[in-house]
Chain A
Amino acid sequence: MSFESSMQRLEAIAARLEEDELELDTALALFEEGIVELRAASAALAHAENRLKQLSEAADGIFTVDDLRA
């Protein structure tokens, strides 16, 4: 789950919650889903280890991403 998809889902959830006629059960379910997405979005930002990687392709066409050797 990427940060962007989490944020998009969160915006959609907020838009639903703006509706006054929403059933409380639905609103609470949306809230719970929103909490999960918020955690995912925060986790995506918290992942701060930024090392340069390099794409490698094996003979069988399988791609791997490895640290770029300096």
Chain B
Amino acid sequence: MSARRRGDPSSSAFGDLELFAADTPRSHAPEPPAPPSFAVGEAIPGTTPAAAVSIMALTRTAKDVIEGAFMPLWVRGEISDFKAHRNGHWYFCLRDAEAQLRCVVWSRDRRRIPAPPDDGMQVVALGQLTVYAARGEMQFTITRMEAEGDGLWRKALELTRARLEADGLLDPARKRFIPKHPRRIAVITSRDGAALRDIFAVVQRRCPSVEIVLVPAAVQGESAPESLCFALDQVARWRDADVLIIGRGGGAREDLWAFNDERVARALAACPIPTIAAVGHEIDVSICDLVADLRAPTPSAAAEAAVPVQAELRERVRACADLLAELTADHLQRARAQAEHTARLVTDGAVRRLERRRSSLEASAGRLNALSPLATLDRGYTITRTTDGRTVRSARALATGQPVNVIFRDGVVNATVERISTDGARETGAPPAPRSAR
């Protein structure tokens, strides 16, 4: 609100005129122009050369009159001379066959408009008719705009898509596989929406061992893109899920628009775990659908894509157990056969060695036998031993009257020494005369 200029001679004739910065939008309803008040005797402003009014006073009054006369309204026309100023504002004309109107969209109002319009586009725009005093021009200040045939939405999608594509985020080679057996699934959606219930119901039915972890986010409204980005950032930092489902049930185009937000799409593309997007109904394809590793037509379909049927998993475990047992049994069987073969080789070898030893033992025994004194006895020799077992090798070792044992092949004779001759005399038949002294 600008300062009022009471007492200023140039404007006092028009009463209280507000001084607006001509290129800033008004946020309040315009006040009706104050009724003219002037002193008696003065000419009505503008009616005589002496009472000429200033341009500023006139345009400001015109502005107040026009703003007071028109409430915000929708107009239809064709875009021309579109310029996006570097200060963020958009300037263009709306026109039809007979007339044209200068228009502006302030940068702060752009967020409600999906994309900048193109020249020649047929649009309807909601705005306030006003006067740009600095130029003395009538101007339409637009806050919302829609193109016929959803032109602006389509254009916005195409622009975002082109930027993501330029950065390679839509490259099919980027698509990751969705794990076949997730342990835990993160779900970014509204806490109260149908999407969460649908996903939970499908997982419950197919594979109740999989855990569903909601990462709540607003999925529609102006805060939705920021909320979705925050949830995606949480999932990225948390990382403790095997797959992410992001989405919501169907809705009006505006309700789904957050999933076309470029920031959301980039955050989704940066997600460290594989992603499934499920936004709206089958006919709606969002930017998030394009960026995700897998696009599911509905949240239920996303859940079906994310979890296997548990009965099939059990069957697979059973088949794997059978295979393991079978293969191991094969190895055992082979090893047993190998062991038996080896044992046979060892046994056979041992028997042969034993045979060899036995025959060599018998040969040795034969040789030993030939050398044995017992064999000598066979040939008729005898062995004489003293009673304490010593073998007598010399006649001189004996004394007359000493008992001896004479060993024959077939027995032992106990004898007593009668007489000893050591001079080589042979034994005679007659007994020798006893010696008197020895």
Interface residues of A (CB under 8 A from B): 2-4, 7, 10-11, 13-14, 17-18, 20, 22, 24, 27-28, 30-31, 34-35, 38, 41-42, 44-50, 52-55, 57, 61, 63, 65, 68
> For the complex, what is the distance from the CA of A27 to the CA of B179, rounded to whole Å?
29
**Which residues from chain B contact A22 at a C-beta distance below 8 Å?**
331
CB-CB nearest in chain A for B180: A4
Are A55 and B213 CB-contacts (below 8 A) given A14-B320, A38-B320, A38-B324? yes
Judge whether A45 and B313 touch: CB under 8 Å. Answer: yes
> For the complex, what is the distance from the CA of A35 to the CA of B204, rounded to whole Å?
28
Interface residues of B (CB under 8 A from A): 179-183, 186, 191, 196, 200, 203-204, 208-216, 234-235, 237-238, 240, 242, 310, 313-314, 316-317, 320-321, 323-324, 327-328, 331-332, 334-335
Q: How would you classify the secondary structure of chain A's contact residues: helix, strand, loop or mixed?
A: helix
Judge whether A2 and B327 touch: CB under 8 Å. Answer: no
Given A27-B327, A45-B310, A50-B203, list of 5 further CB < 8 A pairs? A4-B179, A45-B313, A50-B211, A57-B238, A63-B237
> For the complex, what is the distance from the CA of A22 to the CA of B330, rounded to whole Å?
11
**Which residues from chain B contact A44 at a C-beta distance below 8 Å?**
181, 183, 209
Are A61 and B237 CB-contacts (below 8 A) given A24-B335, A31-B328, A53-B212? yes
> For the complex, what is the distance from the CA of A38 to the CA of B162, rounded to whole Å?
48
> For the complex, what is the distance from the CA of A48 to the CA of B207, rounded to whole Å?
8
Q: How far is the CB of A15 from chain B (nearest CB, A)?
A: 10
Judge whether B240 and A38 touch: CB under 8 Å. Answer: no
**Which residues from chain B contact A30 at a C-beta distance below 8 Å?**
328
Judge whether B203 and A10 touch: CB under 8 Å. Answer: no
Q: How far is the CB of B271 from chain A (nearest CB, A)?
A: 14
Query: Out of B200, B328, B334, which one reaches A20, CB within 8 Å?
Result: B334
Judge whether B331 and A24 touch: CB under 8 Å. Answer: yes
Judge whether B324 and A13 touch: CB under 8 Å. Answer: yes
Judge whether B181 and A7 touch: CB under 8 Å. Answer: yes
CB-CB nearest in chain B for A35: B324
> For the complex, what is the distance from the CA of A46 to the CA of B208, rounded to whole Å?
9
Q: How far is the CB of A67 from chain B (nearest CB, A)?
A: 11
